[in-house]
Amino acid sequence: MYEFAEDNIRKFFESKTIVITGACGTIGKKLTKALLEYQPNVLRLLDVDDTALTEFKDEMDGDPNAEALRFLLGNIREKNRLIRAFEGADFVFHCAALNDVAIGEYNPRELIRTNITGTENVIEAALHNNVKRVIYTSSDKAVNPTSTMGASKLLGEKLIVAANYVRGIKRTRFSCVRFGNVQDSRGSIIPRFTKRVEKGLDLILTDPDVTRFMMPLQDIINLTIKAITLSIGGEIFVFKMPSIVLRDLVDLFSEYAWMKFGISPKIETVGLFPGEKSFEELITEEELSRTIELADMYVVLPHIEELLLSYNNEIIKNIGKIQTKSYNSRFTTPLSKNELALLLKKNDVFSNS
């Protein structure tokens, strides 16, 4: 079936040319540091934010492998820039996106231009340069979307999967990874709660009964790297993630605020934001019928019949034989409050408490 050997990762990336779009985002920066360990020949970091690129360059000064880094200023909305950036590349990690659900509801055209047209530009640039593999980082928001952001990520997935069908004689394989909330990503709820506690502010809560999938950043990075090594073309790799109840998270931050600062923050419930769901999904019911299960992820195979011919019989015979009827945060057993506390402490959220 899908075989993976840790020992082969270095050989897979060693002396290769790799591009990361959105390289100054949370995923992009952590991915950069992880990939450097495998000693690529060149690691090109593309981002639209020149200040963030400068700061990241300063951050990486002194890293023994930093000579492999190239800091590229550019916007994925500009196809010609991507064609130049991807020249001679072996692998592309497409992480650039606009991800804020609430902001996206008021700025849908901007999400279309970045998340959809930008992804199409990545595909065209990769095909133009005959890149070996492209991996697209998607979101649980793409599953049965109720927001502009989720809909744009869904269309991004559709473009990536279909690219395998229209690539002609090109060798490029396109695949997606889909995951829920990254525990310590920029702009996510945990950093926001941490800042509010440190400032002595109230905790703003949408709904205490909201459930979410959540995983530490390092685990996301490890699985993303694993996914590109496994890619045959057209898959959506869905990471197995624990779910949490928002009420438990708020309670833990309230306890942290009391122990650390001797304050008991007020909790303000404001209701769901526009486009936001009270639960998240990682696989649709329709997708389950063409999904296989690995130890740490599910693999949703493409619905395009011609692409399925790329897979061997051992993979095909395992389609749909998985141990879940739904991958929905409402119907999965969430981490207990104690388990959530241990996970947060393990990943240094309450390291100074």
Question: Domain of 30: which CATH number?
Answer: 3.40.50.720
Q: Which residue has the higher pLDDT, 308 or 148?
A: 148
Average pLDDT over residues 3-26: 89
Q: Is 141 a catalytic residue?
A: yes
Q: Is residue 134 part of a domain?
A: yes
User: Taking the CB of residue 348, how many other CB atoms lie within 10 A of it?
Assistant: 10
Q: Is residue 89 part of a domain?
A: yes
Q: How much is the pTM?
A: 0.92
Q: Are the C-beta atoms of residues 62 and 101 closer than 8 Å to each other?
A: no
Q: Which residues contact 297 (CB under 8 A, 6 or more apart)?
A: 223, 226, 227, 237, 238, 239, 240
Q: Are the C-beta atoms of residues 17 and 130 closer than 8 Å to each other?
A: no
d(CA 144, CA 280): 9
Indicate the number of domains in the chain: 1
pLDDT > 90: what percent of the chain?
64
Domain with 161 in it: 7-182+215-240+282-326
Tokens 């559709």 — which residue?
158
Q: Is residue 159 part of a domain?
A: yes
Q: Is residue 266 part of a domain?
A: no
Q: Which residue has the higher pLDDT, 186 or 205?
A: 205
Count of CA atoms in the C-beta half-sphere (13 A) of 327: 30
Residue 314 has pLDDT above 90, yes or no: no
pLDDT, position 346 = 79
Q: Is residue 139 part of a domain?
A: yes
**Helices and strands, counts by H and E, the chain:** 15, 16
Catalytic residue among 16, 29, 30, 141: 141
Task: Kindly report the length of the chain.
Answer: 353
Average pLDDT over residues 159-170: 94
pLDDT > 70: what percent of the chain?
94
- Residues 165-181 have pLDDT tens digits of 989 999 999 999 999 98
Q: Is residue 23 part of a domain?
A: yes
Q: Is residue 253 part of a domain?
A: no
d(CA 126, CA 172): 7
pLDDT, position 353 = 47
d(CA 282, CA 133): 23
Residue 343 has pLDDT above 80, yes or no: yes
Average pLDDT over residues 67-96: 98
